[in-house]
C-alpha cells in the first residue's frame, strides 16, 4: 500500500498548465451587503504591511477583550453550580487566548465546583443573558475586523473571522448570509443548495437511519416499500443491487452539493464519500480564496450557488475493480496501475473525472484522494483557455502534495492546513537540504517539465511540497496571500522562471532561499 500510495500521488496527477482562473458565474455571485465591497485587484497588488501587522494586533486585542468579558461569567457559573457551562466557557477562553493569564485558575475553578442538581433555572437564565451580551459584542468586533481584512486583501483571514463570528453567535444574520445561508424549514439556517432541494426532495434515510441521498418527495412512498428506480422504472431493492453489481457499465449515482459520485459499492457509501469531499471542498476554497477571485475585481466573500456541472468522481468497490478499469480504459498505464487514485482530464467516458476505490485502509488512501481532488478543483473551476507559463513546474504537484499535510484538530474537528509537519515528503526535503547546502531555489523553480518529472522525480515532489508549506505558513502566513496569487499567475499562463520572486514582494531571491532553508531546518522540532 505504501508503494501504491506514493506512486498514485506522483503518477495520478496529469494536469497541464491551464487558463486564467476565476470562479464560475454560478459560484461567485456576490451578496449585496455592506461587507461585500468590490475590491479591484491589479495583477500584482501592493500590500500595506504596516496595516496588516496592525490588523494582527487588533485581532489579538479583540480576542483578549472577549476572554476578559468571559472570565466573570465563568466565575458566576461556578458559583451557581453550573459546572458544565463553566467548563465550556473555560474551553472557549483557552481556544481564543491559550496564554490567558488566569486560565489555570479558571480551569481549577470549573473542575472543583459542585454541580447543582437540579440546575437552578434562574441562574441559567441569568448566565444566558450575560453570555448573550458578551457574544454579540465579540461577534460585532469580529465583523469589523473581517471588513478591515477584506479591504486589505487578506481574504482568507476575513473568511476565517466570519467563521469565528458564527462560532460566537450562530444566529448572526449578516455572517450567515455572507456564508451563503438562508432560512429554511423550522427557521433554521441552511445552504441555498439545500433550501432549493428541500422544496421537492427529502434527504432519504433507510430503516436503520443511514442516509442514501436526495429523493423526490413524490417517490418516498415507493422507497419506503423497498422499491428503487432503475432504467426508467422500478425494481425491488435486492434486484436492483444484483443488476448494478453484475454489470460494469451500470452504477449508482449519488449527488451532493458539488460532487456526483458514481459507484458499485452502495448508495450509502457513495453519500458518505461525497460528504468527505464536501468537507474538503469548503476548506479548499477557504484556503485558496485569493486564487479564485484574482480575475474579476474581487468580492470579499461569495454567495455560492449550486454548480451547473458537478465534479465527477468514480468510487470503485475494490482495488481489483479499479485496476480492471485502468487496464480497460487507460491503456494499462503502469503509473496508474501502481496508484491509489488519479484524476484525468482525458477523453471518452473518463473526461474530467477522479478515480478512487474502497479499502479497509481508507485513512491511508484519503491523502491521495485530497491530492487528486485538488487537481480536479483547480482544473475544473476555471475559464477554458490554455496557459503559457514557463518554469515553475513544481507548482501544480507541490500544492497538491502540500494538501497531504493537512489534518483535523482532534478537539475542534476542524481542518488545520499544514498540520502534519512530519509528513514523509517534508522529512525527505528536510534531509536533502541539510545534506546539500548548495541547493539553489532559483535553479529549482526554473527547471522544465521534463527535468522535473524524469530526473529525481520523487525528490522534486518533496521539495515542491516543502516550498508550498513554507510559503503558506512561514512567519504567521506572511507570504500566503502573495503566494496564492502567484499560483493563480502560474495557472493563468503569466508565470516565468523568475516570477516567484516578483510576486513575493517583501524579500529578494537570496533572502527567500535563506528563509526557506532555515524554515525547513527547524520544521517539526
231 plus 359 within the same structural domain: yes
- CA–CA separation, 441 and 490 (whole Å): 17
Q: Look up residue 253 and give its three cell numbers.
A: 449515482
> For position 2, what pLDDT does the model report?
30
**Distance, CA of 62 to chain centre:** 26
**Each residue of 189-237: pLDDT tens digit?**
998 889 989 999 999 999 999 999 999 999 999 999 999 999 999 999 9
Sorted by sequence, the CB contacts under 8 Å of residue 494 that are 6+ apart come out as: 20, 43, 387, 389
**Cα separations (Å) of 406 from 163, 204, 341, 431?**
19, 32, 18, 21
7 plus 106 within the same structural domain: no
Q: Is residue 302 part of a domain?
A: yes
Contact assessment for residue 283 and residue 406, using Cβ atoms and an 8 Å cutoff: yes
Percent residues over pLDDT 70 in the chain: 85
Q: Is residue 387 part of a domain?
A: no
CA angle 376, 379, 382 (to 5 degrees): 130
The residue segments making up the domain with residue 415 are 394-522
> For position 387, what pLDDT does the model report?
54
471: nearest Cα among 483, 459, 462, 461: 483
Peptide bond into 305 cis (omega under 30): no
268 plus 206 within the same structural domain: yes
466 plus 398 within the same structural domain: yes
346 plus 412 within the same structural domain: no
Q: Is residue 107 part of a domain?
A: yes
168: nearest Cα among 89, 111, 100, 99: 89
150 plus 218 within the same structural domain: no
Contact assessment for residue 237 and residue 227, using Cβ atoms and an 8 Å cutoff: yes
**How far from each other are the two terminal CA atoms of the chain, in whole angstroms?**
28
479 by Cβ neighbours in 10 Å (0-12 / 13-18 / 19+) ranks as: buried
Q: Is residue 378 part of a domain?
A: no
> For position 156, what pLDDT does the model report?
73
Radius of gyration over every alpha carbon of the chain, rounded to an integer in angstroms: 25
Q: Is residue 420 part of a domain?
A: yes
Alpha helices in 300-409 (DSSP H): 319-329, 334-337, 362-380, 394-402
Task: Give the number of domains in the chain.
Answer: 3
7 plus 87 within the same structural domain: no
**Each residue of 76-108: pLDDT tens digit?**
999 999 999 999 999 999 989 989 999 999 999
167 plus 200 within the same structural domain: no
> For position 383, what pLDDT does the model report?
53
| Long-range own/partner contacts, residues 321-329 (CB < 8 A, 24 or more apart) | 321/264, 321/357, 322/355, 322/356, 322/357, 324/248, 325/355, 326/355
322 plus 413 within the same structural domain: no
25 plus 52 within the same structural domain: no
Q: Look up residue 48 and give its three cell numbers.
A: 500595506
43: left (phi over 0), alpha (psi -120 to 50) or beta: alpha
> For position 303, what pLDDT does the model report?
47
52 plus 23 within the same structural domain: no
Q: Is residue 517 part of a domain?
A: yes
Sorted by sequence, the CB contacts under 8 Å of residue 187 that are 6+ apart come out as: none
> For position 364, what pLDDT does the model report?
63
> For position 53, what pLDDT does the model report?
85
pTM of this prediction? 0.79
230 bridge partner residues:
233
> For position 342, what pLDDT does the model report?
92
Q: What is the DSSP letter of 13?
A: B
> For position 291, what pLDDT does the model report?
74
341 plus 223 within the same structural domain: yes
Domain C-terminal end among 348, 365, 382: 365
Mark the ranges of the chain whose per-residue pLDDT is less than 70.
1-47, 292-307, 346-348, 362-365, 382-388
> For position 469, what pLDDT does the model report?
98
- CA–CA separation, 222 and 504 (whole Å): 60
Q: Is residue 278 part of a domain?
A: yes
Q: Is residue 180 part of a domain?
A: no
Helix (H) or strand (E) holding 159: helix 155-168
Amino acid at each position: 500500500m505504501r508503494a501504491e500510495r506514493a506512486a498514485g500521488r506522483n503518477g495520478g496527477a496529469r494536469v497541464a498548465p491551464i487558463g486564467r482562473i476565476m470562479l464560475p458565474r454560478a459560484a461567485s455571485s456576490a451578496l449585496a451587503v455592506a461587507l461585500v465591497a468590490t475590491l479591484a485587484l491589479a495583477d500584482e497588488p501592493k500590500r500595506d504591511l504596516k496595516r496588516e501587522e496592525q490588523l494582527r494586533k487588533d485581532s489579538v486585542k479583540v480576542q483578549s477583550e472577549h476572554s476578559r468579558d468571559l472570565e466573570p461569567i465563568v466565575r458566576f457559573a461556578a458559583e451557581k453550580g453550573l459546572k458544565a457551562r463553566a467548563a465550556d466557557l473555560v474551553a472557549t477562553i483557552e481556544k481564543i487566548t491559550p496564554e490567558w493569564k488566569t486560565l489555570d485558575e479558571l480551569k481549577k475553578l470549573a473542575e472543583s465546583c459542585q454541580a447543582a442538581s437540579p440546575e437552578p433555572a434562574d441562574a441559567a437564565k441569568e448566565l444566558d443573558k450575560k453570555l448573550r451580551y458578551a457574544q454579540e459584542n465579540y461577534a460585532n468586533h469580529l465583523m469589523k475586523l473581517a471588513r478591515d481584512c477584506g479591504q486589505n486583501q487578506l481574504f482568507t483571514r476575513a473568511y476565517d473571522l466570519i467563521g469565528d463570528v458564527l462560532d460566537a453567535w450562530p444566529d448572526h444574520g449578516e455572517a450567515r448570509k455572507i456564508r451563503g445561508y438562508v432560512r429554511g424549514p423550522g427557521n433554521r439556517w441552511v445552504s441555498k443548495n439545500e433550501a432549493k432541494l428541500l422544496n421537492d426532495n427529502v434527504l432519504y434515510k433507510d430503516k436503520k437511519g443511514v442516509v442514501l441521498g436526495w429523493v423526490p418527495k413524490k417517490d418516498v412512498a415507493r422507497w419506503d416499500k423497498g422499491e428503487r428506480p432503475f432504467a426508467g422504472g422500478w425494481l425491488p431493492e435486492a434486484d436492483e443491487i444484483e443488476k448494478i453489481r453484475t454489470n460494469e457499465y451500470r452504477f449508482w449515482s449519488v449527488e451532493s452539493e458539488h460532487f456526483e459520485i458514481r459507484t458499485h459499492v452502495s448508495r450509502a457509501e457513495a453519500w458518505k464519500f461525497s460528504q468527505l469531499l464536501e468537507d474538503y471542498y469548503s476548506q479548499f476554497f477557504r484556503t485558496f480564496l485569493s486564487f479564485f477571485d484574482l480575475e474579476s475585481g474581487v468580492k470579499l466573500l461569495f454567495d455560492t450557488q449550486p454548480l451547473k456541472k458537478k465534479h465527477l468522481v468514480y468510487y470503485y468497490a475494490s482495488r481489483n475493480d479499479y485496476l480492471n478499469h485502468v487496464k480497460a480504459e487507460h491503456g494499462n498505464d503502469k503509473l496508474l496501475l501502481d496508484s491509489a487514485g488519479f484524476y484525468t482530464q482525458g477523453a471518452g467516458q473518463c473526461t474530467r473525472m477522479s478515480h478512487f476505490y474502497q479499502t479497509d485502509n481508507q485513512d491511508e488512501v484519503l491523502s491521495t484522494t485530497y491530492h487528486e481532488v485538488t487537481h480536479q478543483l483547480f482544473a475544473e473551476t476555471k475559464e477554458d483557455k490554455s496557459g503559457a507559463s514557463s518554469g515553475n513546474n513544481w507548482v501544480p504537484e507541490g500544492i497538491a502534495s502540500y494538501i497531504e499535510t493537512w489534518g483535523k484538530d482532534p478537539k475542534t474537528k476542524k481542518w488545520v492546513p499544514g498540520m502534519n509537519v512530519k509528513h514523509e515528503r517534508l522529512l525527505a526535503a528536510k534531509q536533502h537540504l541539510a545534506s546539500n547546502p548548495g541547493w539553489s531555489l532559483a535553479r529549482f523553480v526554473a527547471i522544465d517539465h521534463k527535468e522535473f518529472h524524469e530526473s529525481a522525480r520523487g525528490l522534486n515532489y518533496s521539495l515542491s511540497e516543502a516550498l508550498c508549506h513554507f510559503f503558506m505558513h512561514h512567519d504567521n502566513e506572511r507570504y500566503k496571500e502573495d503566494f496564492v496569487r502567484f499560483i493563480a499567475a502560474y495557472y493563468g499562463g503569466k508565470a516565468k522562471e523568475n516570477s516567484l520572486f516578483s510576486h513575493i514582494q517583501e524579500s529578494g531571491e537570496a533572502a527567500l532561499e535563506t528563509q526557506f532553508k532555515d524554515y525547513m531546518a527547524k520544521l517539526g522540532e
